[in-house]
């Protein structure tokens, strides 16, 4: 099985979702039946491709990151804009069976746009869940229709 995983947080960037993703990859590394590409971020501009294990490749899209454990809205948008072309390239160059997005936005948005080509699942995490953070209440209200579309088109929500 070939899986494309998307997570704009990955160590050293992020917290819980980054570490949860890292734990999954450690388990997947021992499974020779899996091939995994990860599209994530890096704290400096540029693109870095790293081999995590024989069957896992990490594609890091760099952004102008100010703090490793806190995301500013502009950083999320920057990652989405920069990652979009890399996501498209990975889809063109590979025959994935499934996409797994950590977060409904921004990663789930990329998957939603190509749902007719590739089924996707979403792991909802932290501020991704409406009501989790009071500072994002306005964004939750504005983006609610977008979130609902992303969630409804997912093969599964975790």
Contact (Cβ atoms closer than 8 angstroms) between residue 38 and residue 96:
no
Domain ranges of the chain: 2-157
Cα 157 to Cα 110: distance, rounded to the nearest angstrom: 15
Question: According to the model, what pLDDT value does residue 32 have?
Answer: 94
**How many CB atoms sit inside 10 A of residue 27's CB?**
9
pLDDT in tens, 9-45: 887 667 778 888 899 999 999 999 999 999 998 888 8
| Coil, helix or strand at residue 70 | strand
Structure tokens at 110: 């990329």
Contact (Cβ atoms closer than 8 angstroms) between residue 120 and residue 7:
no
Residues 6 or more apart in contact with residue 85 via CB below 8 angstroms: none
φ and ψ at residue 80, rounded to 5 degrees: -60, -45
Higher pLDDT, 106 or 1: 1
Cα 78 to Cα 41: distance, rounded to the nearest angstrom: 10
- Please tell me the CATH code under which domain 2-157 is placed: 3.40.50.2000
Question: According to the model, what pLDDT value does residue 80 have?
Answer: 87
């Amino acid at each position: 099985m070939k899986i494309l995983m998307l997570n704009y947080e990955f160590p050293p960037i992020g917290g819980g979702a980054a570490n949860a993703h890292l734990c999954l990859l450690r388990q997947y590394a021992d499974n020779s039946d899996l091939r995994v590409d990860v599209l994530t971020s890096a704290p400096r501009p540029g693109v870095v491709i790293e081999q995590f294990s024989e069957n896992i490749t990490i594609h890091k899209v760099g952004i102008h990151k100010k703090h490793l454990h806190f995301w500013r809205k502009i950083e999320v948008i920057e990652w989405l804009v920069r990652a979009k072309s890399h996501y498209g390239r990975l889809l063109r160059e590979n025959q994935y069976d499934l996409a797994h997005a950590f977060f409904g936005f921004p990663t789930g948005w990329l998957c939603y746009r190509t749902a007719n080509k590739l089924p996707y699942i979403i792991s909802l995490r932290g501020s991704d869940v409406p009501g989790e953070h009071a500072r994002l209440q306005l964004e939750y209200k504005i983006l609610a229709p977008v979130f609902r579309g992303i969630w409804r088109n997912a093969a599964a929500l975790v």
